[in-house]
């Protein structure tokens, strides 16, 4: 009998933002594997069984960028629109954190990330998945001033 309640794959992503003199920057990784190999994306990945989503977001951030972020994370939103991941139905809890303007955290790509670096939020490269929509939500939060360092 078919499961009456199909379940999506569950992922957690992090929008880590820093304020620079030239404006907001967001930390992105260049995907080293399909899908969207070679495109930029938010650091993130699959939540392990029984792992709290925020813990998964922090773990994936550190695995993919080498940055251990211990500051507060706020839930930006839950994204699960159809077609966001060609591997199948995937729902992501996306967390947002801010680092101070003088924070010199420089990423080092790891795990399945081919590259990791900061990008200006107003000059983003082509993005994987629905991460352009996610970052539009993050921009709205920043412009509203509802997140502080």
What distances in angstroms separate CA 88 from CA 28, 58, 109, one per listed residue?
23, 24, 26
Domain extents for the chain? 9-143
Q: What is the pLDDT of residue 104?
A: 62
Residues catalogued as catalytic? 115
pLDDT (0 to 100) of residue 109: 87
- What is the structure's pLDDT at 129? 96
Q: Any idea which residue has 């977001």 for tokens? A: 57
Fold held by 9-143? Nucleoside Triphosphate Pyrophosphohydrolase (3.90.79)
Q: Phi/psi of residue 46, each to 5°?
A: -75, 140
pLDDT, residue 55, reads 98
In this prediction, residue 2 carries a pLDDT of: 64
Q: Tell me the average confidence (pLDDT) per consecutive run of 10 residues in the chain, 149 residues long.
A: 82 94 92 95 97 98 95 96 93 95 79 91 96 97 78
């Amino acid at each position: 009998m078919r499961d009456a309640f199909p379940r999506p794959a569950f992922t957690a992503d992090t929008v880590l933002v820093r304020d620079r003199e030239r404006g907001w920057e967001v930390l992105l990784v260049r995907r080293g594997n399909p899908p969207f190999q070679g495109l930029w994306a938010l650091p993130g990945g699959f939540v392990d069984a029984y792992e709290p989503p925020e813990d998964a977001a922090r773990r994936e951030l550190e695995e993919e960028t080498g940055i251990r972020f211990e500051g507060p994370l706020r839930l930006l939103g839950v994204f699960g629109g159809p077609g966001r991941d060609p591997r199948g139905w995937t729902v992501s809890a996306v967390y947002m954190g801010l680092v101070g303007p003088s924070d010199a955290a420089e990423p080092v790509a790891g795990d399945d990330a081919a590259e990791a670096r900061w990008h200006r939020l107003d000059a983003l490269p082509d993005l994987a998945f629905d991460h352009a929509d996610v970052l539009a939500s993050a921009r709205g939060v920043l412009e509203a001033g509802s997140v502080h360092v």
